[in-house]
Amino acid sequence: MKETISVLIPEKEIEKRISELAEEISKDFDGKTITLICILKGGVMFMVDLAKKIKQNVEFDFMDVSSYGNGKESSGNIKINRDLENPIEGKNIIIIEDIIDSGRTLNYLYRYLKDKKPLSLKICTLLDKPERRVFDIHVDYKGFEIPDEFIVGYGLDYAEKYRNLPYIGILKNE
């Protein structure tokens, strides 16, 4: 089977939307230090580009999680492959995700991080597939709502491929 990718969101549009999100975040936190927690690996490109545009001091931390279950659908069981390096108690935290699909990952992560008593805890995702939602998640900062298609590029992969594409595309097997 041949894999083809059609552009859904071009590079320029991603850049423009990230500038708007960074401005919103900079205003909301008004000079206060923020810690961005990047969910590896998909959130990397997004976090780097967003952080460069935020006006105040930004700290970075990273988590890697996977959900395990049968077949393609993730189960509610989340495994932490890499945990935070630093405590987050009393800090302003923004979780940086590539995409929210069922919401399982973030539903788990939000509660996991909330227990660590941050001063504030927000969710920022580049992409959102609302049609696929199973868990109700309050998203504070959202790049784009997209249809229920399989997406690659700008951090997102298919079997570890296509993460370095500068645009967001729809992957089809033909």
Alpha helices by DSSP H, 30-146:
44-53, 104-114
Integer Cα distance of 149 and 124 in angstroms: 20
Among 98, 126, 155, 162, binds ligand IMP (CB under 6 A): 98
Q: Which of ligand IMP, Mg ion, none binds 120 (CB below 5-8 Å, type-dependent)?
A: none
Residue 101 among the catalytic residues: yes
CB of 67 to Mg ion, least distance (A): 10
Binding to ligand IMP in span 57-76, by CB under 6 A? 67, 74
With beta carbons less than 8 A apart as the criterion, state whether 170 and 158 touch. no
* Neighbour tally for 59: CB within 10 Å: 15
Strand pairing report for 92-100 and 34-40: parallel
Which among 14-22, 28-36, 94-102, 115-123 is the span making contact with ligand IMP, rule CB under 6 A?
94-102
The reply on whether position 42 binds Mg ion by CB under 5 A is yes
> In DSSP terms, which residues pair with 156 in a beta bridge?
153
- 49, 61, 98, 101: the catalytic one is 101
Give catalytic residues, as residue numbers: 101
Residues that bind ligand IMP (CB under 6 A): 42, 67, 74, 97-105, 150-151, 156
